[in-house]
Structure 1
Amino acid sequence: MHRAEPPSGRIDGQTHLFGVRVYYEDTDLSGVVYHANYLRWFERARSDLLRCLDIDQRAAHEAGEGAFAVTSIDLRYASPARLDDVVAIATRLEVRHGASFTLLQEAFRDATLLCSARVRVAFVTPGGRPRRLPPAWQDALATLLDPSGTAPAMDLEKAQS
């Protein structure tokens, strides 16, 4: 039986790092990454961050507790990525509330910022109403905040290693 391990990110201090390579399917006719693909990459990085924090979204959904829903996203495009580029997605927790949190996600090629997103995610009941994050999840997310309770500044050098 053949088994391949999927790509996985890592938490470095208070930043989650996730790598992606630009494939032909990610580009448009001009060879530039199609704008919607940044959303897909950011979603993969967010899902991987939660996995790294032992937040089991699937188990919560299957138990009828709820699921995460993106409630807002603000994207800013800075520079294009192209075929075969290696892109690092750096994710930091900016704010954590009882039922939601806000992340800053940035895509880099080396030290060049390609795209950034400010994403607010809420935990909602199966009926769509906000629901307080389980205490263990709140604790896990708190590890991404510095001792003052705020998000640290992005360290571009760490984001590239």
Structure 2
Amino acid sequence: MTDQGVDQPQAGRFEGREHRYPVRVYFEDTDLSGVVYHANYLRFMERARSDMLRLAGIDQRAVHEAGEGAYAVADLSIRYRAPARLDDALLVVSRVMQVRAASVVIHQTVRRGSLVLTEATVTAALVAPSGRPKRQPAAWTDIYQRLIWQGTAT
């Protein structure tokens, strides 16, 4: 007998419109001063976005493997407010803010408790193998619209 949730990677969860993804700070995430290296916040956010999309029902892998394209970060604005340190328990909170024909805008915060450490707005564009923007599948834009307006993906 196997349990479906045992030994599965962390996927986070939706709470209303927000996807909540817990992260632990490991030694490898820090710099010589003992705080999280600035680029690692982007890694935390990327993992949270990928898992948010997977959990919402957007199968990026299938589109990529079919040779139809992949998401690429087209624009990123980030603000660092306070440092995270070794062994901190963090939470990456992601919210879909806007959907366009070929892209989606997602706002993300990295928090320790109620303190916002970092916040970013990311525009991810679907690009064809040629590198040109490509219209997202209609099912994906429907999912994004539900996340924006109704607060749930299902």
- After TM superposition, the score normalised by the length of structure 1 is 0.87
Per the alignment, residue 124 of structure 1 pairs with: 127
CA distance in 2, matches of 1:43, 1:99: 19
Aligned residues: 146
8 Å contact kept, 2:107–2:120 = yes
Per the alignment, residue 84 of structure 2 pairs with: 81
Question: Matches of residues 31-110 of structure 1 in structure 2 within 5 Å?
Answer: 31-110=34-113
CA distance in 1, matches of 2:104, 2:144: 9
Q: Does 1:5 align with 2:21?
A: no
Per the alignment, residue 3 of structure 2 pairs with: none
Unmatched tracts of structure 1, length 5 or more? 152-161
Shift of 1:146: 2.1
Deviating above 3 A after TM superposition, structure 1's stretches of 4 or more consecutive aligned residues are none
Shift of 1:5: 1.4
The percentage of aligned residue pairs carrying the same residue is 51
Shift of 1:36: 0.5
Per the alignment, residue 111 of structure 1 pairs with: 114
Per the alignment, residue 21 of structure 1 pairs with: 24
DSSP 3-state at the match of 1:144? helix
Unmatched tracts of structure 2, length 5 or more? 1-5
* 1:48-84 residue CA offsets vs partner (Å, 9 max, x unmatched): 0110111111110111111101001111000000011
